[in-house]
């Protein structure tokens, strides 16, 4: 359909999909959906040594998990059945397009040896040339010389003839007018001597043949764009619009890496992040709606996304902010929905096995008192465990500080008082009252008693509110733990 917007995400499957990659995918996806266009995935696996099937799977599963559904690309039932959206399946196309340029005299075979090219570079370096590049030596070989070399089986690369325009410029959708002096470019190679096409060539051939109207990708590709524009011009093809997304840095202003808490997308899933949180946070890495609003569902993003609102300056990734979003989305779920996504993590950690009504009620109560201490799904495990298992060991520092003989004596007495309360009255207010009175009569600060009880009952120094914890743990269990403690 003419006039249709078509964008693509074109990952190289040489590693797992990370934050930067999925952010590029998301902005392409949103652009396509906002404009009722098509979102295409193209697997750039022409680097045979470094491309791996397992990374294709990782990339596709990551996109699927986050909800970036593609209209064209790898088969959704089997990501590794290589179809025409894999560059490895398009080698004949690249060859025939390179031949077109050769036949029309816009490209030529270069037989220069490695040694000659190295020598050339050395001379340019000595001369302190501003730019190094090929000198066009093979541009003017005669047809006879070429035939002779081919008959001698001499290896060759294919180079384009750089046009003589002084400048290559384009209007970037995000960065505005960008110009490159074309004398910084040379007759660059499009097909290597082993027959493999280079990235800049495959991208242009594919983007053209796939009808891509807008190329939206990371800023690290900006220096490739003039070469690609030259190729479009040589072919006399319509040039797509380009938009280069700002880089993503960590909190410290350095290029994003694992050090900043950034891991692969599926790793976030494993670690207990929700796709809604990832998606929302990704959208804000370089894009904003206004200076206030931060919370967006996928549907809202599709409605509100505008490429002109993408910033030119680098985005900053903060794991704390991502955790903040995750916490928010976890707590936005209904009680039932939240429990059902938490269950697998509890089961995996061996905290629960069967979900009886009793366990369910207890979990609802625990989740409520843990509140926004649950920032990632498995965080509940820590808070839930003491309710299902008595402590195997006690925090050493906690014991030393809060379970001294005099403190234990008071706690044991509190245990006796608890035992006398009717189960039905065993509520947080009552518990608090008893502890307060015991603190006053013993002269030991209530904070100390509370911390002592926390260590005794949970084994550690951190838990949800203690009165609530005691109530949910239940009178009999609390009394038992206090009585058994030596």
Active-site residue list: 258
The footprint of ligand GLU on residues 196-225 (CB under 6 A) is 203, 217, 221
Q: Quickly count: other Cβ atoms within 10 Å of residue 386's Cβ.
A: 22
Nearest-angstrom CA–CA distance, 394 and 208: 66
Site string for ligand GLU, 300-329 (x = CB under 6 A): ------------------------------
Binding segment toward ligand GLU, per CB under 6 A, in 9-17, 74-82, 100-108, 352-360: 9-17
| Assigned token pair, 404 | 């001294």
Return the exposure string of 17-30: e unless at least 16 CB atoms fall within 10 Å of the residue's CB, then b.
Answer: bbbbbbbbbbbbbb
**CA separation for the pair 385, 391 (Å, rounded):** 9
Pick the piece of the chain touching ligand GLU (CB under 6 A) from 10-18, 104-112, 128-136, 378-386.
Answer: 10-18
Shortest reach from residue 75's CB to ligand GLU, in Å: 20
Give how many residues touch ligand GLU by CB under 6 A: 7
| Nearest to ligand GLU of 108, 201 (CB atom) | 201
Nearer to ligand GLU, 203 or 315 (CB): 203
Burial per residue of 320-329, b for 16 or more beta-carbon CB atoms within 10 angstroms, e otherwise: eebbbbbbbb
Q: How far, in Å, CA of 246 to CA of 244, rounded? A: 7
Q: Which of 18, 25, 37, 44 binds ligand GLU (CB under 6 A)?
A: 44
Residue carrying the six token digits 């046009």: 163
Rg from Cα positions in the chain: 32
Q: Work out whether 80 is an interface residue with ligand GLU (CB under 6 A).
A: no
Choices 4-12, 33-41, 126-134, 435-443; region in contact with ligand GLU by CB under 6 A: 4-12
Closest to ligand GLU by CB, 200 or 463: 200
Beta carbon of residue 104, minimum distance to ligand GLU (angstroms, whole number): 25
Is residue 11 within 8 Å of residue 21, measured between CB atoms?
A: yes
Of residues 85 and 387, the one with the C-beta less far from ligand GLU: 85
DSSP 73: S
CB 43 to ligand GLU: min, Å: 9
Is there a contact between 212 and 32 (Cβ–Cβ < 8 Å)?
Answer: no
Cβ distance to ligand GLU smaller for residue 222 or 408: 222
Residues 6+ apart with CB under 8 A from 471: 426, 427, 428, 431
Determine phi and psi for 135, rounding to 5 degrees.
-95, 5
CB of 162 to ligand GLU, least distance (A): 20
Distance CA 158, CA 195 (A): 9
Number of Cβ atoms within 10 Å of the Cβ of 465? 15
For helices 53-66 and 275-283, angle between their N-to-C axes, nearest 10 degrees: 90
126-137 core/surface letters (b: 16 or more CB in 10 A; e: else) = eeeeeeebbeee
Task: Kindly list the distances between the CA atom of residue 481 and the CA atoms of 335, 358, 440, 453, 469, in Å, as whole numbers in the listed order.
Answer: 30, 20, 23, 10, 13
Q: Is 45 in the site for ligand GLU (CB under 6 A)?
A: no
Please, what is the minimum distance in Å from the beta carbon of residue 88 to ligand GLU? 13
- Give yes or no for a contact between 38 and 69, defined as CB atoms under 8 angstroms apart: no
Closest approach, Cβ 87 to ligand GLU, in A, equals: 9
Nearer to ligand GLU, 240 or 272 (CB): 240
Least distance to ligand GLU from the beta carbon of 202, Å? 9
Residue 196 vs 430, nearer CB to ligand GLU: 196
User: Which of 12, 169, 288, 318 lies at the binding interface for ligand GLU (CB under 6 A)?
Assistant: 12
**The one among 10, 160, 282, 367 contacting ligand GLU by CB under 6 A:** 10
Q: Is 11 in the site for ligand GLU (CB under 6 A)?
A: yes
Q: Which residues bind ligand GLU (CB under 6 A)?
A: 10-12, 44, 203, 217, 221
């Amino acid at each position: 359909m003419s006039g249709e917007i078509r964008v693509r995400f074109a990952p190289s499957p040489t590693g797992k999909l990370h934050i930067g990659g999925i952010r590029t995918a998301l902005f392409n996806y949103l652009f396509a959906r906002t404009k009722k266009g098509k979102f295409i995935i193209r697997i750039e696996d022409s680097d045979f040594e470094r491309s791996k099937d397992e990374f294709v799977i990782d990339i596709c599963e990551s996109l699927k998990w986050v909800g970036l559904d593609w209209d064209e690309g790898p088969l959704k039932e089997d990501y590794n059945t290589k179809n025409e959206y894999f560059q490895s399946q398009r080698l004949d196309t690249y060859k025939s397009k390179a031949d077109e340029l050769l036949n029309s005299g816009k490209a030529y075979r270069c037989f220069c040896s490695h040694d000659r090219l190295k020598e050339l570079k050395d001379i340019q370096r000595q001369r302190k040339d501003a730019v190094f590049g090929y000198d066009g030596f093979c541009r003017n070989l005669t047809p006879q010389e070429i035939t002779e070399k081919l008959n001698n089986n001499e290896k060759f690369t294919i180079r384009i003839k750089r046009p003589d325009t002084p400048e290559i410029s384009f209007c970037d959708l995000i960065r505005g007018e960008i110009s490159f002096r074309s004398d910084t470019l040379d007759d660059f190679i499009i097909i290597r001597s082993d027959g493999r096409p280079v990235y800049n060539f495959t991208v242009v051939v594919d983007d053209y043949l796939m009808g891509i109207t807008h190329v939206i990708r990371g800023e690290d590709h900006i220096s490739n764009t003039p070469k690609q524009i030259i190729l479009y011009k040589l072919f006399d093809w319509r040039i797509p619009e380009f938009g280069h997304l700002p880089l993503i840095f960590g909190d410290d202003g350095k290029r994003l890496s694992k050090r900043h808490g950034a891991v692969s997308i599926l790793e976030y899933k494993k670690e207990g992040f929700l796709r809604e949180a990832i998606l929302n946070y990704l959208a804000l890495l370089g894009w904003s709606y206004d200076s206030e609003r931060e919370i967006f569902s996928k549907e809202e993003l599709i409605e509100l996304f505008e490429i002109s609102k993408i910033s030119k300056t680098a985005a900053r990734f903060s794991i704390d902010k991502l955790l903040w979003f995750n916490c928010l989305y976890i707590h936005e779920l209904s009680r039932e929905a939240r429990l059902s996504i938490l269950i697998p993590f509890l089961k995996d950690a061996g905290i629960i096995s069967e979900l009886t009504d009793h366990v369910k009620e207890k979990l609802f109560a625990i989740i409520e008192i843990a509140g926004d201490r649950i920032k990632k799904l498995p965080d509940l495990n820590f808070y839930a465990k003491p309710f299902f298992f008595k402590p195997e060991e006690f925090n050493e520092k906690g014991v030393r500080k809060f379970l001294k003989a005099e403190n234990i004596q008071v706690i044991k007495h509190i245990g006796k008082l608890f035992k006398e309360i009717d189960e039905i009255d065993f509520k947080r207010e009552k518990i608090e009252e008893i502890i307060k009175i015991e603190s006053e009569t013993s002269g030991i600060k209530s904070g100390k008693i509370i911390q002592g009880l926390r260590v005794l009952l949970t084994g550690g120094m951190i838990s949800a509110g203690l009165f609530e914890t005691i109530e949910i743990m239940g009178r009999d269990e609390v009394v038992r733990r206090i009585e058994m403690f030596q």
